Structure 1
Amino acid sequence: MNNQIPSLPKELLQLIRHGENYQIEYKEAKTDLPKTLFDSVCAFSNREGGDIFLGVHDTGVILGVDSASAQKLITNFVTLANNKDKIFPPLYLAAIEYVFASDGSFSGVDKKGKRIQEQPGEYHIIHIHVPVSPSVVRHKGRIFDRNDDADMDITDLSDRVFQCYARKQSTYYVNRVYPHWNASDLRSDLIDKAREMAITRKQLFAKQRHPWADMDNEELLRTSGLILTDEEGRTGITLAAVLLFGTDNMIASACAHHKTDCIYRVYNVDRYDDREVILTNLIESYEQMFSFGQKHLNDLFVLDGIQNVSARDKILREIISNSLAHRDYSSGYVAKLLIERDKITVENGNRAHGIGALDIRTFEPFAKNPAISKVFREIGYADELGSGMRNSYKYTMMYSGAEPEFIEGDVFKIIIPLSVGSMTRVGPLTSPVASGEVSGEV
């Protein structure tokens, strides 16, 4: 074996054998760089970063690059990655050559169902690690994004481009300032309601007086980060304030696509049995979504230790507050609460910090809309960051005996499995009822 070139580390071999996904890409290469290499570099930079392996088949079978051409490939790659006419802004990436001695025992199946057998021998592989870029990267003027195991040209897809830029911003969309509105334009009854909820909760659990009790509405909004000054020096209420306490007309003006589609689909599976489209502020949206869930889900007898608890209500609280507090309000994706015979599915637009199922043991929570989350915590709609996922696991196991799923992506999805007892009905079925606005899209 060549002593000057390092052997392929076990960790990298595991990545190769694991298969392609949104952070792993294989490229066949012998003497020249693959034509699509920089599409992948661009896509990884714009998403969550990733690893590219040259000399590997799509199946994970190692084919190797030409050993005499390996250093030329590395030099050409580094040069092109630094060329602003090729990649903008230029990327400073390293490519490392490794040697792998295969025993020929591995095989993979391609997309056509053909089995590819790895041949025994010594192979040279080039590994490129691409970190996530702090800015949007273009390849020859085109913007690429990673979609599962593929590189997608999103240049002409305005929504995807907007999401790509949004992921790179350190600011929050809901902190957008509206200087032509002030605190008096908001619904004072909602602010008073939130104040009373916070005061009652503080007194009940901490035996203390809540600071909001001594604040007027404007002070409350300022201390909650709902009145800000933007980069141009304009001061006003934020989009978060409008979503929390605004009138329906204000919300429609500031965030026209804001709505939540609640659907109950158990008997009429081609359409729905009940439906409610919610277009109002987040506080009343929470209440209406909660009532919709209570109406269609049985409250089973559940013991937490020796205490009877409503696992149904605990689950609804967590999944509804998660949807409202953490959704991406710049996204036009219609948020949904869908109740079916065997599961509840919650979907909403999302500024993703990864792709795929979240593991409760390893996931790291991210604040998506801190100002909204803060108000939700104060009034008791939510707890500390990350607790919602843990509570959902706990009470779903009690309610249905199965684990929920939390799936991260541009659309965030929660799936709560249901047991037969959750949906059992006594008496005649009623005809399908639709509440609120009805659209032709589900």
Structure 2
Amino acid sequence: MKRETLSEILAVGETTNIEFKRCGQQPEKDTFETVCSFANTFGGSIFLGVEDDGVVSGLKPSALLPIKRNVVNVVNNPKLFDSPVAFEFEQIDFDDKVVLRLWIPPSPNMHRFKGEIYERLEDSDVIVRSASRLAEICIRKQGLYTEQRVYKYVDLADLKLDMLDGVRERAARKQPDHEWARLGNEQLLRSAGLLGKDFSTGDEGLNLAAVLLLGKDEVIRSVCPPYKTDAVWRIDPDSRYDDRIVVRCNLIEAYDLLADFCRKHMPDRFFLDGAESISLRDVIVREVIANCLIHREFTSPYPARMLIDSVALQTENASKAMFAGPITPTGFSPLPKNPIISSFFSAIGLAEELGSGTRNLFKYSPRYSGSDPELVEGTVFTARVPIYRPSRRGADASGAAPSPGIASEIAKLVSERGSLTVAEAVEAGYPRRTVQRAMSKLVEEGAVVPMGNTRSRRYVPAR
């Protein structure tokens, strides 16, 4: 490692895979806790001879060999480590001081130090005590796709088979000659990888992917109790929420519900992409929701969350990650978390090929809001996409009555267009609550007349 590279690492500080240790004549106990946690998580580098704040104190040249011998002896001592951890040394000259880098790759084995299992969370080494966290580590290390788990007592009656007609239509819209249009229900399920045989156990039947994609609500709750997505819209950061839905239905229905929720509370912005005008909001919503639904670890008890506020659309969900850190368009290698579910979503046009979601978010987010998204991989995957804020005329989230000027502007819009919905007024740049209060005021004054039910109500000029 070059001096310049170490300087950059020192400037960033300790992270999920970087640790600084001062180190005297021999490493302290916490050095080996970090060795254990790196091996159990995503791997990392321990820099011996560096203070916690990134200042290089260096190691005495005479201490280098004893330190190396100590590390080798401790890591290979069966009374201390179960089982031994792989590692490499690298000596780095930094100005007139020496730093020793101890690199630990991620291990396929589970390691204990003095009887405790450690994992790396942010910049801390944490003892794993809960059975759920231990199970997540085991799943990640085994490289298993839990979506392939077969449930031999789940049968076709436990699925919403009436949804398959809609699935065929969506697949045909994306690819007119798609084979699913010609297949019966059971054949389609086999073609999609939802019905088959687990060759490790010999069990045959529907798998977890089938239950999550098409299952009835009660079947999903029984097979996968932790599964849900909690979506919140919040205007005031000090309030719990202004609107909320908790989604526990199958993934296809969940996608539609969450997309509608986002469209309801996020302003739109259109962009000319070549000769085609596209909704930037819809593109972003599609990618964020698809990622949250199909690239998660469904067996984890960590709840998936979606938050929309005045600043950003944010999601977080459990992930079976192979690394930890920020994701960039050029600095990531897309890995399938649930290849069966991903392929199904792709076939019906709700997702594209692996990695396209990240590229689309970095392509369209600056055009939507002027800022890049923030995507961070780890045991919990987080996504944050800034929200476009049009020029708000009379923006008011306090609950106060709209000013006469705002009510007059909205009345003018109703008159010019012949009719107006609340959603159309929001797209014109007015806050939803302001529009709702203004419409109520105009109805009371007899200036406009409501037509239709609450869901599709339009306001027309009074005659």
Q: Secondary structure at the match of 2:117?
A: strand
Structure 1 residue 294 corresponds to structure 2 residue 263: yes
CA distance in 1, matches of 2:339, 2:154: 21
Structure 1 residue 139 corresponds to structure 2 residue 113: yes
The equivalent position to 2:137 in structure 1, one of 164, 167, 185, is 164
Q: Secondary structure at the match of 2:233?
A: strand
Residue by residue over 1:192-228, the C-alpha shift from the partner in whole angstroms, topping out at 9 and shown as x without a partner, is 321222123211xxxxx21112322222222222123
Give 1:216's aligned amino acid. Answer: G
Give 2:180's aligned amino acid. Answer: W
Provide closer, same or farther for how the CA distance between residues 68 and 401 of structure 1 changes in structure 2, counting only shifts above 3 A.
closer
Partner of 1:412: 381
The equivalent position to 1:67 in structure 2, one of 37, 40, 61, is 61
CA distance in 1, matches of 2:13, 2:5: 13
Give the conservation status (yes or no) of the 8 Å contact 1:78–1:92.
no
Runs of 4+ in 1 over 6 A off after TM superposition: none
Larger Cα-atom Rg: 2
CA distance in 2, matches of 1:191, 1:90: 51
1:125 positional shift: 3.0
How well do the aligned residues superpose, as a CA RMSD in angstroms?
A: 2.2
The equivalent position to 1:150 in structure 2, one of 84, 105, 124, is 124
1:268 positional shift: 7.7
Residue by residue over 1:256-313, the C-alpha shift from the partner in whole angstroms, topping out at 9 and shown as x without a partner, is 1211112111158412221111111111111111111122223334322443211111
CA distance in 1, matches of 2:233, 2:88: 52
CA distance in 1, matches of 2:239, 2:315: 19
Partner of 2:430: 424
Give 1:21's aligned amino acid. Answer: T
Give the conservation status (yes or no) of the 8 Å contact 2:89–2:100.
yes
1:16 positional shift: 4.1
Give the conservation status (yes or no) of the 8 Å contact 1:298–1:424.
no
Superposed, which structure 2 residues align to 1:66-215 within 5 Å? 66-102=60-96, 123-154=97-128, 156-203=129-176, 209-215=177-183
Q: Secondary structure at the match of 2:62?
A: coil
Provide closer, same or farther for how the CA distance between residues 32 and 289 of structure 1 changes in structure 2, counting only shifts above 3 A.
same
Partner of 1:42: 36
CA distance in 1, matches of 2:98, 2:371: 46
CA distance in 2, matches of 1:33, 1:130: 15
1:33 positional shift: 2.2
Partner of 2:290: 321
The equivalent position to 2:27 in structure 1, one of 33, 37, 41, is 33
Give 1:39's aligned amino acid. Answer: E
Query: Gaps (5+ residues) in structure 2?
Result: 391-426, 441-463
Structure 1 residue 349 corresponds to structure 2 residue 349: no
1:9 positional shift: 5.3
Partner of 2:223: 254
Give the conservation status (yes or no) of the 8 Å contact 2:86–2:104.
no
Provide closer, same or farther for how the CA distance between residues 268 and 31 of structure 1 changes in structure 2, counting only shifts above 3 A.
closer
Q: Secondary structure at the match of 1:277?
A: strand
Q: Which moved more, 1:353-362 or 1:48-57?
A: 353-362
Partner of 2:190: 222
Structure 1 residue 21 corresponds to structure 2 residue 15: yes
Percent identity among equivalent residues? 38
1:18 positional shift: 4.0
Greater relative contact order (Cα 8 A, min sep 6): structure 1 or 2? 1
Provide closer, same or farther for how the CA distance between residues 393 and 55 of structure 1 changes in structure 2, counting only shifts above 3 A.
closer
Give 1:90's aligned amino acid. Answer: P
Partner of 1:332: 301
Residue by residue over 1:40-94, the C-alpha shift from the partner in whole angstroms, topping out at 9 and shown as x without a partner, is 1001101111111222211222222333232122112112212222212212433
Partner of 1:120: none
Residue by residue over 1:91-141, the C-alpha shift from the partner in whole angstroms, topping out at 9 and shown as x without a partner, is 243334454443xxxxxxxxxxxxxxxxxxxx3432211111012211122
Give the conservation status (yes or no) of the 8 Å contact 2:316–2:380.
yes
Superposed, which structure 2 residues align to 1:262-301 within 5 Å? 262-267=231-236, 269-301=238-270
CA distance in 1, matches of 2:286, 2:243: 21
1:39 positional shift: 0.3
Structure 1 residue 371 corresponds to structure 2 residue 340: yes
Give 2:145's aligned amino acid. Answer: Y
Q: Which moved more, 1:51-60 or 1:275-284?
A: 51-60
Q: Secondary structure at the match of 1:323?
A: helix
Residue by residue over 1:310-336, the C-alpha shift from the partner in whole angstroms, topping out at 9 and shown as x without a partner, is 111111111111111111101122212
CA distance in 2, matches of 1:174, 1:194: 19
Q: Secondary structure at the match of 2:108?
A: coil
CA distance in 1, matches of 2:40, 2:154: 35
Q: Which moved more, 1:186-195 or 1:42-51?
A: 186-195
Give the conservation status (yes or no) of the 8 Å contact 1:325–1:369.
yes
Provide closer, same or farther for how the CA distance between residues 343 and 124 of structure 1 changes in structure 2, counting only shifts above 3 A.
closer
Partner of 2:369: 400
Provide closer, same or farther for how the CA distance between residues 16 and 393 of structure 1 changes in structure 2, counting only shifts above 3 A.
closer
Identify, as 1 or 2, the structure richer in helix: 2
Query: Gaps (5+ residues) in structure 1?
Result: 1-6, 103-122, 204-208, 432-442
Q: Secondary structure at the match of 1:53?
A: strand
Provide closer, same or farther for how the CA distance between residues 418 and 15 of structure 1 changes in structure 2, counting only shifts above 3 A.
closer
Residue by residue over 1:350-369, the C-alpha shift from the partner in whole angstroms, topping out at 9 and shown as x without a partner, is 12233232112212111110
Q: Secondary structure at the match of 2:175?
A: helix
**TM-score if structure 2 supplies the norm length?**
0.81
Residue by residue over 1:225-261, the C-alpha shift from the partner in whole angstroms, topping out at 9 and shown as x without a partner, is 2123232211111111000011111101101121111
Give the conservation status (yes or no) of the 8 Å contact 1:78–1:95.
no
**TM-score if structure 1 supplies the norm length?**
0.85
Structure 1 residue 304 corresponds to structure 2 residue 273: yes
